[in-house]
Chains A and B, each alone.
Chain A
Amino acid sequence: MCLAIPAKILNRRQDNISKVDFGGVIKEVDVTLVPEASVGDYVLVHAGFAIGVVEEKEALETLELLRQMAEQSDASDGEQDGAS
């Protein structure tokens, strides 16, 4: 139910449409649902619409958490709560 893919916004919205880059594949998507997103942001695209923004800070935190989880000897040691 959940196939949404991150893509980077390439230009300012015109009539609620922006061009986004999926990684060499560029498509126009509707960005009405992400009014806070701007050029350079990554958005989650589903059925031709951006439905949410992928925050760079949180993505980096996720990477860091993964690293910690993978390296710790016990899953519960020093685990940070990533949820807001």
Chain B
Amino acid sequence: MHQTVNRMELHKGIDPGSRYSKALLEKILLEDIEHLSFMEVCGTHTMAISRFGIRRALAGKIELHSGPGCPVCVTDDAEIDLAIRMAGEFKATLCTFGDMMRVPGSSSSLLMEKAMGSRVVVVYSPLYALDIARQEDRQIVFLAVGFETTVPSIALTIMRTKQEGVKNLSFLSLNKVIPPALNFLCENREVRIDGFILPGHVSTVIGVKPYEFIPRRFGIPCVISGFEQADILSSILMLMDQNKRGEPEVRDQYFRGVRREGNLKAQEVIEEVFEPCDSRWRGIGMLPLSGLKLKDKYKDFDAMERFNVKPQVVYSSQVKRACKCGEVLIARIKPPQCPLFAVSCDPEHPVGPCMVSTEGTCAAYYKYERAGV
């Protein structure tokens, strides 16, 4: 079995022809267990589970809840509005990941602002914002949204910006970290959770330790999972096994990409640039030390400092108040239970971010699972 592994085997070929996946699925369905509920807390997992048809295949036996795993979706309206203001009102060139373009704030979106003449540039990497800043005189703002997977890259970019003395670039830090949200979900168990499917690439950065409080304090089994269907299915089997044995712990299914200690260099750069701060999460409210802000030594590159603004809560329209994204995000309801789902809220006319984000729970359900599929 020890032949040289090529890229295809390391990634797609983790299960060529879905041979193992089909067998794993069958095993799950054959297991004689009482109904179990697991929650995935990574938007990429939410989408993958829907796209692979896993959620439906396991329905009735294992309920898969989607948690607050989409960093775009958990970003508060006030914070989204601030990003929109940067582009519209402050006339900065706003650089953003594509994920944020169509997310509605309380009255507009970045896509709409772009159409109205604001300069909004979709970037694949934060380094491209630095490229643009080097070539232009205008103020450039990079919209930093994302969990720990993305934070190290943004931190490095901020460090380089300072090193090079690029004065016209600043960063709007709306980054959040995931463990406090997990803690919230454990403490406020409205939804029964018999196990967490933990985010693979966040774990590549932070390692295994930050999750250990979950089985220790709350007795809930956890598995860090990769993203192939075989990864997800075997993680589910591992969670079922932990439930059967009554021995909750954090297991690492994605050990080919996750070291126990995580990526120390990445943690180092995060530590260099950012410090924890309180942050509002849609659906949850204020969570202590769940966000990241720039340390004092990098304050010069903090967009909120440079433009002297803070997120402001705006009066919400009736339609927006009817939005139930918050409840979907903590799995209190499933998307089809939102009265707006597929009625007045759809990807063309999204009321909240869950429907329009590329990893939004409502978007996943709408795209792959609605209409009695």
Check whether chain A touches chain B (CB < 8 angstroms).
Answer: yes
Hey, which bits of chain A sit against chain B, CB under 8 A?
A: 1-8, 21-23, 30, 32-35, 42, 44, 46-49, 51-52, 54-56, 58-67, 69-71, 75-76, 79, 81-84
Further pairs besides A48-B128, A51-B263, A83-B260: 13, Cβ < 8 Å: A1-B69, A48-B124, A56-B10, A60-B2, A62-B255, A66-B15, A70-B27, A71-B23, A75-B238, A75-B241, A76-B245, A82-B252, A83-B252
Hey, which bits of chain B sit against chain A, CB under 8 A?
A: 1-2, 4-5, 7-11, 14-15, 19-20, 23-24, 27, 31, 42-45, 69-71, 97, 124-128, 146-147, 149-150, 152-153, 156, 199-202, 204-205, 208, 226-227, 230, 234, 237-238, 240-241, 244-245, 250-253, 255-260, 263, 265-266, 269, 359
Please determine whether A70 and B20 come into contact, CB atoms closer than 8 angstroms.
yes
B51 to chain A, nearest CB (A): 13
The 7 residue pairs across chains A and B that have the minimum distance between CB atoms: A48-B125, A83-B252, A70-B23, A2-B201, A58-B256, A52-B204, A2-B44
Name the one of A3, A7, A51, A62 contacting B152, with C-beta atoms under 8 angstroms. Answer: A51
Given A33-B265, A69-B237, also A84-B153 (CB < 8 A): no
* Residues of A with C-beta under 8 A to B42: 1-2
Given A1-B146, A30-B156, A60-B1, also A84-B9 (CB < 8 A): no
A-B contact pairs, 23 of them (CB 8 A): A1-B44, A1-B202, A2-B199, A2-B201, A4-B201, A6-B7, A30-B125, A46-B150, A47-B97, A48-B128, A51-B204, A52-B263, A58-B256, A59-B10, A66-B15, A66-B24, A66-B234, A69-B237, A70-B27, A75-B31, A75-B237, A76-B245, A82-B253
Which secondary structure dominates where chain A touches chain B? mixed
